[in-house]
Amino acid sequence: MNHTATARSWVEQANGHSDFPLQNLPLGIFSRPGEAQRCGVAIGDSILDLQAVLAAGLFEGEAKTAVEATVDATLNAYFALGRSARVALRQRLLELLGEHSEHQAALQAALYLASDCQMHLPAKVGDYTDFYVGIEHAKNVGKLFRPDNPLLPNYKYVPIGYHGRASTLRPSGTDVRRPKGQTLPAGQTEPSFGPCARLDFELELGIWIGQGNDIGQAIPIGDAAEHVAGYCLLNDWSARDIQAWEYQPLGPFLSKSFITTLSPWVVTAEALEPFRCAQPARPEGDPQPLSYLLDARDQANGALDIELEVLLITEGLREQGLPPHRLSLSNTLSMYWTVAQMVAHHSVNGCQLQAGDLFGSGTLSGAQPGSLGSLLEMTDGGKQAIELASGEVRKFLEDGDEIILRARCKRDGAVSIGFGECRGKVIAGN
C-alpha cells in the first residue's frame, strides 16, 4: 500500500513535488469559481475532482463507497467508514494516477490547477479538543509562571487537554482579526478592555478522528490508532494578555476561541506509515504510563517523525523584497504522549468521539535552539525581541504579519511528503 520510492505519476509536476507526490494523495474539499464544493485529492500542483471520476465510472467496490460518502462535500461520512475504505480508495488512486494508468485521457478533464481553486474545511467539526502533549513547550511556559516548578505533578500521568471552540475553525488563508478582551496591565489592580497587545501563534499537529465510539464505551489503547483518519497542521492563535487574566481557575477561554487555522488537506494515516517510529524513551525517573495508556505496539511504532517549520512575513519584509523569516524548525517527536494515547485517554471516561472530531496536539517546541513553537517562548514572555532582516523587531505579532506553518516527512528510502501550508495574516480588529 505504501508503494516504493520509484513509483511515478503521469501528472508530471507531481514527480518530485515538495508536498504532494504520488506517495501522499491527501483528500480535501475544494471549489472552483461559481461551482459547488466537492472532494478532491492533491497531486502535484493540481487537484483531481473525485466526483467527476466517480461520474466517469472509474471507482468500484469499497473505493466507490468511499467517494460516494463525500457527496455532501464533507469528509465526515468518509472518515466514519474506517481504515478499510481509506485503503481501498488510496489503492485505486495509486492505479489511476500512476504513470502506467490507462485512464489518463479521461482523468485529465477532472484535473484542475490548485491555484485556480479555493479550499474549505474538510469536515464539519462537532468537537475540537486541544491537548498539551509538547513537553518542551509545557516546561518553557511553566518556567515563565512557576520557575521552581515548571511541570505540575499530573503532566507525566495525564494527557492534558481542554475543549476548544469548533465554530471558529477556519482553513488556511483566512485573515486573523485581532481580538479584543479584558486584560490586566502590569502594575494595575483592575482590568481594562481593548485589543489584544500580545498576539501569538502556536505550532501544532491536527488529528482528524475517523470512526468514533458509543457513549460509555472507552476505546482501548491497542485499538486507538484505528480511530485516526488523518492529520493536518493547526495554528492555535493565542491572545496572551487576555489568557493571563482569564485562565485561572478554569483555563483558556476567549484567548483561544477567536480563530484556529487549519491546513485544508487531510494527510491520511496510511500515507504517514513510512514515517512512524518508536515513541522516544521517557527520561530516567519518569513514571510509566498507567495500564490503559500503555501498549507495546504503540510504544514501538506510535510516534510520528514530522519536521515542522514556522515562517513569518511582515510588511517590512514584503516592502523590501526579503524572504520570510524562519522562526522555528521543530518536530513531532517532541510529543510526550502518542496520538493513540490521546484517543484512549479522551474516551476512557465514556466520552463519545465522532467522525470529524478534531484534536490539536498542543504546541510542539523542541529542546534545541531555534525549535520553539510560540513567540511566548522565543521572547521569554516578551522580554527579548526578535530582530528581522528588514530592521523590524517582534515580541508579539503586529497587524500585517503573516504566519506560515509547513511540515515535511523525510526518511531514507521513502519519498518525502508534506502537508501544504497553514497560513494566516493578522488584520486590525473592529
Compute the distance between CA of residue 264 and CA of residue 174 in angstroms, rounded to an integer.
11
Query: Residue 391: pLDDT above 80?
Result: yes
Q: Give tens-digit pLDDT for 23-38.
A: 999 999 999 999 999 9
Catalytic residue among 17, 137, 227, 346: 137
Query: Residue 3: pLDDT above 70?
Result: no
CATH of domain 12-120: 2.30.30.230
Q: At which residue does the C-alpha cell 514515517 appear?
A: 275
What pLDDT does 145 receive? 78
Q: Give tens-digit pLDDT for 277-334.
A: 999 999 999 999 999 999 999 999 999 999 999 999 999 999 999 999 999 999 999 9
| Number of CB atoms found within 10 A of residue 389's CB | 12
Q: Give tens-digit pLDDT for 178-236.
A: 999 999 988 899 999 999 999 999 999 999 999 999 999 999 999 999 999 999 999 99
Query: Residue 135: pLDDT above 80?
Result: yes
Q: By C-alpha distance, which of 215, 130, 230, 235 is closest to 172?
A: 235
What pLDDT does 1 receive? 46
12-120 matches 128-427 in fold:
no
What pLDDT does 340 receive? 98
Domain ranges, ordered by start, for the chain: 12-120, 128-427
Question: Does the annotation count 137 as an active-site position?
Answer: yes
Query: Class of the 128-427 domain?
Result: alpha beta
Query: Residue 56: pLDDT above 50?
Result: yes
Contact by Cβ (8 Å): 356, 212: no
What pLDDT does 202 receive? 98
What pLDDT does 53 receive? 98
Lowest average pLDDT, out of 27-31, 135-139, 144-148, goes to 144-148
Q: Tell me if the bond preceding 249 is cis, omega within 30° of 0.
A: yes
pTM (whole model) above 0.85: yes
Q: At which residue does the C-alpha cell 472532494 appear?
A: 39
Compute the distance between CA of residue 19 and CA of residue 97 in angstroms, rounded to an integer.
16
